[in-house]
Structure 1
Amino acid sequence: MEPFVVQPTLQPTEDLPVLLPIAPWMLSFPEITAGFSSRLGGVSQAPFSTLNLGLHVNDNDLDVIHNRERVAAALGQSFTSFTYAEQVHGKDIAIVTLDEQGMGRESRATALQAKDGFITKEKGIVLCAQFADCVPLYFYDPVQRVVGLAHAGWKGTVLNISMATISLMTHTFGSQPSDIYAAIGPSIGACCYEVDATVATRVWLAFEEAQIPQEEQEAIITDKGNGKYMLNLQQLNRKLIEQAGILSSHIEVTQLCTSCRTDLFFSHRKEGGSTGRMIAWIGLR
């Protein structure tokens, strides 16, 4: 069953953004908020119509901030809690304290710089990462009450940002991987994600480093010929998360492809690079 479900009470109206919470987590873990935004229900104009949440895509900044405020209001969270980073397709993870709460929500200059993931144990902080095809990775340890969020494009994936996030949760807050739950959110799927030999080579190195068996590799990357391959980033991240010690029964994986569903999501690849951004969010209430 698809874990990311459109909230039935939220329709693309003037005031209500369409959001997709992680439904199984909302039932099991009412102490957190977590999910993914859509492209619907904001004020941005084309080609960012309408719920663009990225300040770095040459949209009108005031429209983006208004959209971000709408998301906060729809979630019943204070806008001052929403915390952003400047993402660089790396694997550096920030430990977010109350001192960093709200950074980047209205300005790129005030965002956490050069970070592609966060963890926090503080209540009231909402971690936000931006996406338009890359893979959002969510983490929650209900024992230690720690949340984490990571941005995994192909570069972050082969750098094993999932392992970096889980390791920081373990070393900083005492989380045990077997206690952690993970979710993999809407992103470009294997149906649409064609890569070249340069990317494929990096993926094969990641397979080797993670000791992923050959038969499982074949389900993740498929040779199309002429130096082109179809890559399943969602499943590659799932395997890396499992290799880090998270139980397979604790992992939720979306079936939603951002490239297939441009009616619902922005897609950098499908829309030729001129488009908006969704956010993944997670926080302790």
Structure 2
Amino acid sequence: MASYPELSAGFTSRIGGVSKEAYGSLNCGLHVGDDPEDVVQNRIRLAEALSISFDACTYAEQVHGKEIQVVGPAQRGAGKNSRETALQAKDGFVTQERGLFLFAQFADCVPLFFYDPVHHAVGLAHAGWKGTALQIAKATLETMSAAFGTKPRDVLAAIGPSIGGCCYEVDDTVISRIDNVIQDLHKGGGAPHGEQPIYKTKDNGKYNLNLQELNRQIMMKAGILPIHIEVSSLCTSCRTDLFFSHRKEGGKTGRMAAWIGLRAPSI
């Protein structure tokens, strides 16, 4: 953002809103049982903090898939104050529209940010273990390429706060799907090599899975340069003082928002 002033991207904490109890206090999710009026007020506060119009905020209903939507003027503001008007069954969305901001919701899953400074396009994706197994990062890049002419080597990417390999315990069912992704990454040679293992076997027969590292490797295999990928070191499960964590808090909790967009040119 320092290099590209038109870009606005980031990730909220759980602090600074009006929601109460389990959703305290900046819950941005309408689907978790919180008072909808409080959630909308939180979303308005977020827009005000970003100095953008609430009408420019565009939300989706996420389903842990890999469907990507190209967002244009007709979708501007979708879902900002109701689930019914949100972009339905989409876990990623991309746009070239200035003055339109994409928002997705998280409480352990991995937020993926994409910016193509050559074609002035942005993308945002929601990657839980299912979306990661479906390689939603690759699908997002492919959609940007088809829609905007994006070349992966030009893309600047970021992987936001999520549950980390320190805390994310999964079973054989999940790891069998993850192993398929790892095998795919190694096809054709030139497989990306990470500094961290993707998962570690535990004494109890389960595994600690590092979804951030796997998404980083998927991005690299898809053509994004390693030096163009920023990775947050924050774990949502370790830091429930800062973040909501679906796993750590037993399922009843709020949602953070990730956002990305390009500001309209100043007149």
Tell me the amino acid that sits aligned with residue 122 of structure 1.
Answer: E
- Look up the match of 2:234: 256
AA in 2 matched with 1:238:
R
Q: Does 1:123 align with 2:101?
A: no
Partner of 2:86: 111
Matched, 1:99 2:77: no
1:123 Cα offset (Å)? 0.4
Residue 23 of structure 2 aligns to a residue whose secondary structure is: coil
Where does structure 2 lack aligned partners over 5 or more consecutive residues?
Answer: none
Instruction: Tell me which residue corresponds to 1:185.
Output: 160
Residue identity matched to 1:220: I
Aligned length: 260
Q: 1:208 aligns with which of 183, 189, 193?
A: 183
Give the TM-score of the pair, scaled to structure 1: 0.89
CA contact (8 A) 1:207 1:217 kept: no
Alignment of 1:35-114 (within 5 A): 35-114=10-89
Matches within 5 A, 1:227-238: 227-238=205-216
Look up the match of 1:30: 5
* Greater relative CO, 1 or 2 (CA 8 Å, sep 6+): 2
The verdict on how the C-alpha distance between 1:218 and 1:81 changes in structure 2, with shifts beyond 3 A counting, is: closer
Summarize the Cα distance change of 1:215–1:148 in structure 2 as closer, same or farther, 3 Å threshold: closer
Aligned residue number for residue 13 of structure 1: none
TM-score by length of 2: 0.95
Asked whether the 8 Å contact 2:192–2:220 carries over to 1, the reply is no
Residues 48, 179 of structure 1: CA spacing in aligned structure 2 closer, same or farther, 3 A cutoff? same
- Tell me if 1:268 matches 2:246: yes
CA separation in 2, counterparts of 1:196 and 1:214? 25
Aligned mates of 1:226, 1:65 — CA distance in 2: 43
Give the C-alpha shift of residue 28 in structure 1: 1.3
Moved more, 41-50 or 225-234: 225-234
Deviations 1:142-185 (A, max 9, x none): 00000000000000001000000000111110011100010000
Amino acid at match of 1:73: E
Q: Which amino acid aligns with 2:202?
A: K
- Please say if residues 181 and 246 of structure 1, whose CA atoms lie closer than 8 Å, have aligned partners that are also in contact: yes
Q: What's the C-alpha RMSD, in Å, of the aligned pairs?
A: 1.4
What secondary structure, in the 3-state scheme, does the structure 2 residue paired with 1:71 have? helix
**Separation of aligned partners in 1, 2:92 and 2:152:** 17
For the 8 Å contact 2:194–2:213, the answer to whether it is kept is no
Q: Which residue of the partner structure matches residue 219 of structure 1?
A: 197
- Runs of 4 or more off by more than 2 Å in structure 1? 212-218
Unpaired runs of 5+ residues, structure 1, are 1-25
1:196 and 2:171 are equivalent in the alignment = yes
1:35, 1:218 → 2: CA distance? 24
